[in-house]
Amino acid sequence: MVTVVATESMAVTTTMPLVQQDLGDIWLYGWAFSAFFIGNLVGSVVGGRATDRVAPVVPLTIAIAVFVAGLIVGGLAPSMPVLVIGRLLQGTGAGVVPSVMYVCVGRGFPAALRPKVFAITSTAWVVPSLIAPLAASFVATQFGWRWVFLGLVPITIVVAFFSLPAVRSIPAGTADPHRRVTPLSRVMLLAVGATLLLAGLTSANYWALFPLTAAGLLIGVPAFRVLTPAGTLSARPVLPAAILIRGLLTFSFFGADAFVSLALTSVRGTDTRYAGFVLAVSSLTWTAGAWIQARFHARVGSAALVRAGGACLAVGLTFAAVCLSSSVPLGLWFAAMCIAGLGMGLAFAPISSTTLAEAEPGREGEATSALQLSDVLGTTMGTGLAGVVVSVGDRIDATAGATLAVVYLGTAAMGLVVSVLAGRLVHRSLAGDRGNELVV
């Protein structure tokens, strides 16, 4: 299922320019992606918390149905607003998948095996990263962009046929049935806050930028605090810090990664195929880093791996800023994104392992939904703020190279913050199950 979601993500990103040419309404282009992220917010929280009260197969089945419905709506969309609705449904279904996956790993595997399971999960992104953009481009040009969406429907159903019986063996959580359930209104408030914040950050009118941004923060921040462990915003050890660091990590990488193609085409004069190869290489080193952490996690612990990963991000993205200069060989872009991808591989999975180790037994869904929530918000805010920098640079007639240098240096600084905060991660010993002594 992770592979299906990854394929959808890479394929739609590739074909969206063709979609916009056909449906028009370029002002909704960005919202085709933002709607997916907003849906992810809702799906990750609702799906993760549901697994503490019912068997994971229940929310996963519903999520697959919603995801398939979104693909059908997107593939048959007569206009861009309808396509945005389809993307919202796709994001909602896709958001449940990682939350359920984390719960299945937490309840179905001993702690010592979890780093390897997360490495396999990272590997599930490799084939989509290498194949999906080219396959989507071929399908869109030969048969039409609608078949990029509709063609994934039977694939999703086949994968569900094999995955659902296996997930059925994972039991429900043991959360106190009398414990107050986080109301859906809080989740919706967070989605509304994130939507207003994104609208404000991407607004071309200064009269709308500040009110919308302020409203988004006032609505979204209190909801975020309710949906995450106490002390998340202050990086309190251990679980709250893990949740916060994960958001900062995705902010750093995806805030930079989203603008690699723009940097290579508009600044260095290459084409999108070259940019695709650069992005594919970073996916490969992400997977390599995931397997490295699986090998050394028990020996060095989460904190050391996350510290190293954050440092790699800081170095790689700083190097990317340098590579914007025409005096630097173009091929060094591969080295820069290789280092950044390696950093994500080293840091991403250990945070997942720490979250599962620190979650209360039977309430893994609550912890992992907060982790997935932080993931999505980090990605959304990273790409959103980077987009603001690019937009402002265009308005003041700054060169594309100078504007993107600010983006890459800013995301590199966030990687450095991840490295510094890694010291607040304390993992449970991977030699046994929960209840072992804490190891620093």
Residue 9 has pLDDT above 80, yes or no: yes
Is residue 438's pLDDT more than 60? Answer: no
- Report whether pLDDT(281) > 90: no
**Above 80 in pLDDT, residue 291?**
yes
Q: Among 61-65, 236-240, 295-299, 396-400, whose mean pLDDT is lowest?
A: 396-400
Instruction: Please state, rounded to an integer, the average pLDDT across all residues of the chain.
Output: 86
Confidence of residue 437 (pLDDT cuts 50, 70, 90): very low
> Residue 434: pLDDT above 60?
no
Q: Which CATH number fits domain 231-440: 2.60.40.10, 1.20.1250.20, 3.30.70.141, 3.30.70.380?
A: 1.20.1250.20
- Copy the structure tokens of residue 154: 């039977």
Are 366 and 383 in contact by the 8 Å Cβ rule? The answer is no
User: Does residue 26 carry a pLDDT above 70?
Assistant: no
Q: Is it the case that residue 261 has pLDDT exceeding 90?
A: no
Q: Please state the φ and ψ torsions of residue 438, each to the nearest 5 degrees.
A: -75, 140
Structure tokens at 235: 């990086």
pLDDT digits (tens, 9 = 90+) for 148-184: 999 999 999 999 999 999 899 888 876 655 555 556 7
What value does the mean pLDDT take over residues 316-322?
A: 96
Does residue 47 or residue 406 have the better pLDDT?
A: 406
Q: Which residues contact 185 (CB under 8 A, 6 or more apart)?
A: none
Residue 425 pLDDT > 50: yes
Nearest residue to 172 via CA among 331, 50, 349: 50
Percentage, residues of the chain above pLDDT 90? 43
Position 430 scores a pLDDT of 40
Residue with tokens 């916009």: 20
pTM, to two decimals = 0.81
CATH number of the structural domain 1-181: 1.20.1250.20
Per-residue pLDDT, averaged over 73-87, amounts to 93
Residue 431 has pLDDT above 60, yes or no: no
- Max CA distance (Å), the chain: 65
pLDDT band at 204 (very low <50, low <70, confident <90, very high): low
Handedness of CA 303, 113, 231, 201 (dihedral sign): positive
Q: How confident is the model at residue 329 (pLDDT cuts 50, 70, 90)?
A: very high
